[in-house]
Copies of this chain bind each other. A is one copy, B any other.
Amino acid sequence: MSPDAVELNFSRSEYADRLLKTRMAMQAAELDCLIITDPANMAWLTGYDGWSFYVHQCVIITLAGEPIWYGRGIDVNGAKRTTYLSDDNIIEYPDYYVQSEDRHPMDYLAQILGSKGFGSFSIGVEMDNYYFTAAAFASLVRNLPNANFKDCNNLVHWQRSVKSEQELSYMRKAGKIVEVMHQRIRETIRPGLRKHELVAAIYDAGLRGVPEYGGDYPAIVPLLPSGIDASASHLTWNDKPLKSGEGTFFEIAGVYRRYHCPLSRTVFLGKPGQDILDSEKAVLEGLAAGLEKAKAGNLCEDIAIAFFAVLEKHGIIKDSRTGYSTGLAYPPDWGEHTMSLRKGDKTVLQKGMTFHFMPGLWSDDWGLEITETIAIGENGPELLSSVPRELVVIS
C-alpha cells in the first residue's frame, strides 16, 4: 500500500505547522513526550480517522521525528489509509490485549516506550479524556515507574482553538448542511408525525448534504425532546407522534469531514404560550447582544455577560454556560473542552476561533434553544450558517 494513495484532508505543511505548535507547547510545559488519546487530537495531528476509539489507541509525540500511531492490529490498515505516517511509525498491539481482564494495551505500550528509552521522560497525558481511562493511567504508572507523568489534558485541544482557512472552509460546508437539515425539519414536521420518522428526515438531510458534497456523522446524535420532555436538555427520541400544543427543540449539527457546525432551533406546533414567546424575545435580544461582543480582543466571558445581562433585564436568571469552542470532533462531544462562553472565562478572543453560541432555556415544562455557530473576526463574528433566527411556529 503506497502512502501516495492516501488522501489527506489537509496539506502536509498544515500538519507540520500543527506539530510545531504542539511541540512549542510541550517545551513550555517541559515535556519530552505526549501520549494523545483524544480521537480529534489524533486526527488533527496525523489525519487518523476511524471508529476504533472504542479500544485503546493513541498518538505519541516527542520533540523530534514523526508522530507514532499506536493501536490494535486490525486498525493498522486504517492508520495506513488515513495518515501521512510511514509504516515504521504505525505500531500495533496484539489482539489478546483487547478488552481483556488480565492485561491492558497500555502495559504493552509501556514496554515499547521503555525500549525506546522514554522510561524516564516527562510524559504528558490527557487525564480527563474519555479515551484515557483510570486503568490506562494506572498501567502506565505501574509499568514506567521512573517516568514523570504530567496532566496536559487540553494541551493539544488548545492548539486547535484558532482554525486555519481550510478548517473554516470545512466548517462553512458543515454550515450549509445544517441549513438543509433545518429546512427539512420545517418542511416535514406536523402533528401526528412520529418522532423517529422526523429523525430519519433529519439524518437524510444531514447525510445527503448538498449536491457538491455529503455529510459526515455528528459527534452527538440529534436531541429533539418535545413538550415536558424538552425540560430535559439531552433526551434523544422515541417513536411517538408529535402533538399539537408542544414545542420541540432541535439540537443538531451539520458535519463535513469531522468538522461540525452545530445549530439549534425550536419549533412549536400550535399556539405557543406567552411565557415561551417572552423567552424567545429575551433569547433573540440576548443573542444579538452577545454577537456584538464576539470580536477579536474581547474575552469569552464578554459574550456571556452581554447575553445574561439581557436575560436578567427580562427577569430570567441563568448560570449555566452559554456556549463553547467547537470544530473537529468525535463522539461523545462536539465541544472542544477549552473555552466556554461563561462568566470567569477570560480567554482573549482571536480571529478564527469558532464557537457554538448556545443559549438554551429549560423551564420545568418546556425548553427553548436558538443558537448560532460563529467564527470570531476582527470586527465581529462570521455566522457559519444562515437559518432564520426565530421560534418556528406551525399552526
**Residue A127 at the chain B interface, CB threshold 8 Å:** yes
Residue of B nearest to A256 (CB): B239
Q: Are A75's CB and B232's CB within 8 A?
A: yes
Pick the interface stretch among A18-26, A96-104, A263-271, A386-394. A96-104
A contacts with B, residue count (CB < 8 A): 84
1/0 contact trace for A230-266 toward B, CB 8 Å? 0111111111000000000000000000000000000
Chain B residues, Cβ within 8 Å of A160: none
> Within the assembled complex, what's the spacing in Å between the Cα atoms of A214 and B239?
5
1/0 contact trace for A81-104 toward B, CB 8 Å? 110000000000011101101001
Chain B residues, Cβ within 8 Å of A204: 200, 203-204
> Within the assembled complex, what's the spacing in Å between the Cα atoms of A132 and B235?
21
**Residue A52 at the chain B interface, CB threshold 8 Å:** yes
Chain B residues, Cβ within 8 Å of A15: none
Q: Which of B81, B128, B194, B234 contacts A104 (CB 8 A)?
A: B128
Q: Are A223's CB and B51's CB within 8 A?
A: yes
Chain B residues, Cβ within 8 Å of A151: 135
Q: Are B215's CB and A196's CB within 8 A?
A: yes
A136 with B130, Cβ < 8 A, contacts A50-B232, A208-B200 known: no
Pick the interface stretch among A62-70, A283-291, A308-316, A334-342. A334-342
> Within the assembled complex, what's the spacing in Å between the Cα atoms of A50 and B221?
10
Chain B residues, Cβ within 8 Å of A232: 50, 75, 77-78, 80-82
1/0 contact trace for A128-160 toward B, CB 8 Å? 111111111110000000000001011000000
Chain B residues, Cβ within 8 Å of A216: 236-237
Q: Are B95's CB and A51's CB within 8 A?
A: no
Q: Which of B134, B137, B237 contacts A125 (CB 8 A)?
A: B134
**Residue A28 at the chain B interface, CB threshold 8 Å:** no
Residue of B nearest to A331 (CB): B331
Q: Which of B50, B207, B340 contacts A196 (CB 8 A)?
A: B207
Q: Are A320's CB and B130's CB within 8 A?
A: no
> Within the assembled complex, what's the spacing in Å between the Cα atoms of A101 and B324?
14
A130 with B133, Cβ < 8 A, contacts A50-B234, A99-B324, A332-B54 known: yes
Q: Which of B94, B99, B129, B234 contacts A340 (CB 8 A)?
A: B99
A214 with B236, Cβ < 8 A, contacts A53-B332, A99-B335 known: no
Q: Are B135's CB and A133's CB within 8 A?
A: no
> Within the assembled complex, what's the spacing in Å between the Cα atoms of A337 and B234?
26
Residue of B nearest to A337 (CB): B99
Q: Give me the interface of A with B, judged by CB distance under 8 Å.
A: 1, 5, 49-54, 73-75, 77-78, 80-82, 94-96, 98-99, 101, 104, 125, 127-138, 151, 153-154, 194-197, 199-200, 203-204, 207-209, 213-217, 220-221, 223, 228-229, 231-239, 319-321, 324, 331-333, 335, 337, 340, 342, 344, 360, 362, 364
State the 5 A-B residue pairs at the shortest beta-carbon distance, nearest first.
A196-B214, A214-B239, A78-B232, A134-B137, A128-B135
Other A-B pairs, 15, CB within 8 Å; known A95-B342, A200-B204, A203-B203: A1-B364, A49-B235, A51-B220, A53-B332, A74-B360, A77-B232, A80-B232, A95-B319, A96-B319, A96-B344, A125-B134, A133-B133, A196-B208, A199-B207, A200-B208
